[in-house]
Amino acid sequence: MRCITLFLVLLCLIDLSLCQDELVISTPVESVRYVNDSGLRVLIDQMEDSEQFMFVKFKASWCPFSQQLTTIFEAVAESFPNITFASIDASRHTSLNYRYDISTFPKLVLFRGNGSIYTYRNQSRTFRGIQHYLTNITGMQPIAVTEPEVPPLRLSEETDYFWFFSVAFVVLVPGTKLLLKYFNS
């Protein structure tokens, strides 16, 4: 019985930590389409013209690096009006993650109308760096857009929750084992 109670408590903690990414943080901008997985599938299916490009940010709203990238991604989107930009919370909408090899966040993937897929692999995700990358592959030049200030890496409230529950979990698992040992002896 005790064992079951402890298990349920643990389960609740895990679930709560997963709930935190329900919250929306950034204010949507027009240059970026904010989609779920079915929305993204529709956008990919619509790309029939091989000259079309779509740049997608797979993010997790609880991931501070995803949040830090938001302003840069939106500014890059403004500078390439002929590329479709989309953002998906891939920690909530997971059905495409396997196909596009999304295992870490944030991940930037460029889709070409002819079916080619390019993943941005540079760990440094600067405004200019991403622009160069897009110009390199698409051949398009960016229009002039003010370079955004990179926000400091900030643990938001929900990130705090996430870390709190992660830490709580890490502490609770060995703690539970000890308790069980104690009760069983």
The region of 8-16, 63-71, 124-132, 148-156 touching ligand NAG under the rule CB under 6 A is 124-132
Tell me if 43 contacts ligand NAG by CB under 6 A.
no
The region of 17-25, 62-70, 125-133, 174-182 touching ligand NAG under the rule CB under 6 A is 125-133
Angle between helices 64-79 and 127-138 in degrees, nearest 10:
50
Tell me if 143 contacts ligand NAG by CB under 6 A.
yes
Q: Binding to ligand NAG (CB under 6 A): which residues in 103-122?
A: 112, 114-116, 122
Taking alpha carbons only, the member of 54, 78, 84, 71 closest to residue 125 is: 71
Could you give the C-alpha distances from 177 to 8, 12, 23, 52, in angstroms and in order? Answer: 14, 17, 33, 55
Tell me if 46 contacts ligand NAG by CB under 6 A.
no
What backbone phi and psi angles, to 5 degrees, belong to 156? Answer: -75, 175
Q: Give me the torsion for CA of 163, 151, 144, 120, rounded to 10°.
A: -30
State the binding string over 76-105 for ligand NAG (x if CB under 6 A, else -): -----xx-----------------------
Tell me if 140 contacts ligand NAG by CB under 6 A.
yes
Q: Which is nearer to ligand NAG, 13 or 140 (CB)?
A: 140
Quote the CA–CA distance of 89 and 91 in Å, as a whole number: 5
Taking alpha carbons only, the member of 45, 41, 170 closest to residue 93 is: 41
Residues that bind ligand NAG (CB under 6 A): 36, 38-39, 81-82, 112, 114-116, 122, 124, 126, 128-129, 136, 140, 143
